[in-house]
Structure 1
């Protein structure tokens, strides 16, 4: 293979996968090809192709390295074979002693809720996994709300994750903690060790290939994948990923319990569950419903029992 072949290789990748990753109704615009960090033909072709398919620079780079490793491992370049082997992404060989405590592979319906009152209400409605996403700069208020949420799920069997406020979650005895990528990057080694030593589970949000690889470095209890569809609840740094990308992420990250999140409504549950995720997280489908308890029952009925 020479430089003359690289454009043809890139075009072959795009031709083989454009129908999957760029469906008309969710087409992501082509992205500028980032500067290359190596000169291997498979890497260069994949870098161009994945950028053309709408993957942002860090994800196109991650995929290009994986495509190069795959080509070496299989002794040949195959434009039809989208990388999905963990070893091609550097996801093999982690130390199990450093992994966070496990949680069920099927976390089921996962309610992300703004207050302890909402947490208790949805736990009593039978939602098996709940998260308190309480936004405040008042540390005393945070501690009170986290403690109230822990008390609210007692006797319900619901698993309670606390968004961001890891020390308050440890102190209150929550089931687990959930962090976003920025929060994960802000945690120092001693803080991660403190969370791990506490026995609390750790969930991490991801928004593409590079962030999944970053999350794997700390071996969390579960990984959240999104945003699958547009959401108005928070400003997202990345475009909605769509079901096709979600399917590819599930194939790669199946060693973890996986949670799909982001703009998911009841009518989209079958397509999301068909990707193989063990959990669907919802916010508006519960808190904006005219009858949240009835909405919870309806959504619970859409997810097969583990």
Structure 2
């Protein structure tokens, strides 16, 4: 197949899926803007792969995600013995996600983690746990190891007597020492935490969640078989500088179809009015920060958000 024919296939993919994954302005509630990306160097030469690589780049997927999708599209074509431009890849087998050794998986947690409050201090953790928020995370930023250990221990104490599941962001050793329910890490932390430390966390029975921001990071997260996977940022957020653009509802829904064998948490700029649309994608949990800590009445906000979760 020559270059012109491959370009025609790429245009066919764009025509078929542009309304869903298009790189122009998405008219979601928070207007997620995605722009076309340069086509990365090709790693193989099959027509399905080359066409998908071009198309996914034009649709705004960054290089590593365009590559991951193109490889999946090629595997899908080989598995089904046809190049079906209508079917966006969503079979775990085509992403290398099938299988896995159950003995190497982290401890299970509920598929429906519910409202997930990401909170700055142990005081906030206790306050929201007592308000009935089912899953809470301590995101305490400090380079002082003693201060971290004290705050993590205080957070573990703060949820006692409640039904809240407490995850500790980043500080995995302090979380293990204090007996927290779980640990949450970002992609950059997977570079730092070695295989031996991961095994220590796994064998402790502590739950382990991982943040992801696209297809390539979901594949990478699956390699360690975490307890849950966080998907984001769904909408623009000012809380932290993100290396990737907001994903929007259409991408979130595609991620959920692919990763549905995991408990999934949507995070990033999700306000109360967006809960029904986000829940409709199939995620079992929505994480919020500002919707709780910036609310005039945080306990009332927690009740309203939990009601929204249940309605959706």
TM-score range, shorter chain: over 0.9
SS at match of 1:42: helix
For 1:194 and 1:223, the matched residues in 2 are separated by 20
For 1:9 and 1:133, the matched residues in 2 are separated by 46
**Are the counterparts in 1 of residues 32 and 236 from structure 2 also a CA contact under 8 Å?**
no
| 1:250-261 equivalences in 2 (<5 Å) | 250-261=256-267
Match of 2:306 in 1: 300
Structure-2 change in CA distance of 1:305 and 1:257 (3 Å): farther
Match of 1:21 in 2: 21
**Are the counterparts in 1 of residues 37 and 57 from structure 2 also a CA contact under 8 Å?**
yes
The Cα shift of 1:305 comes to 8.3
Match of 2:50 in 1: 44
SS at match of 1:93: coil
Residue 277 (str. 1) matches residue 302 (str. 2)? no
Q: Of 247, 256, 280, which residue of structure 2 is paired with 1:241?
A: 247
Could you report, residue by residue, the CA deviation over 1:49-98 in whole angstroms, capped at 9, with x for unpaired residues?
00000000000000000000000111010111100000000001111110
Residue 100 (str. 1) matches residue 111 (str. 2)? no
Could you report, residue by residue, the CA deviation over 1:182-239 in whole angstroms, capped at 9, with x for unpaired residues?
0012110000000001110000000000000000000000000000000010010000
The Cα shift of 1:304 comes to 1.9
Could you report, residue by residue, the CA deviation over 1:278-305 in whole angstroms, capped at 9, with x for unpaired residues?
0000000000001101000000101128
Gaps of 5+ in 1: none
For 1:10 and 1:256, the matched residues in 2 are separated by 31
For 1:89 and 1:249, the matched residues in 2 are separated by 12
SS at match of 2:60: coil
The Cα shift of 1:4 comes to 3.1
For 1:21 and 1:290, the matched residues in 2 are separated by 37
Could you report, residue by residue, the CA deviation over 1:125-154 in whole angstroms, capped at 9, with x for unpaired residues?
000000000000000000000000000000
**Are the counterparts in 2 of residues 3 and 41 from structure 1 also a CA contact under 8 Å?**
no
Match of 2:237 in 1: 231
- Higher mean C-alpha displacement, 182-191 vs 242-251: 182-191
For 2:12 and 2:131, the matched residues in 1 are separated by 51
Match of 1:69 in 2: 75
**Are the counterparts in 1 of residues 125 and 137 from structure 2 also a CA contact under 8 Å?**
yes
For 1:2 and 1:48, the matched residues in 2 are separated by 14
Residue 57 (str. 1) matches residue 63 (str. 2)? yes
What's the TM-score, normalizing by structure 1?
Answer: 0.98
For 2:67 and 2:168, the matched residues in 1 are separated by 32
Residue 122 (str. 1) matches residue 146 (str. 2)? no
Gaps of 5+ in 2: none
SS at match of 1:183: helix
For 1:52 and 1:44, the matched residues in 2 are separated by 13
The Cα shift of 1:27 comes to 3.5
Runs of 4+ in 1 over 4 A off after TM superposition: none
For 2:122 and 2:197, the matched residues in 1 are separated by 25
For 1:305 and 1:78, the matched residues in 2 are separated by 37
For 2:131 and 2:150, the matched residues in 1 are separated by 23
Counting matched residue pairs gives: 306
**Are the counterparts in 1 of residues 32 and 235 from structure 2 also a CA contact under 8 Å?**
no
SS at match of 1:294: helix
For 1:294 and 1:21, the matched residues in 2 are separated by 36
What's the TM-score, normalizing by structure 2?
Answer: 0.97
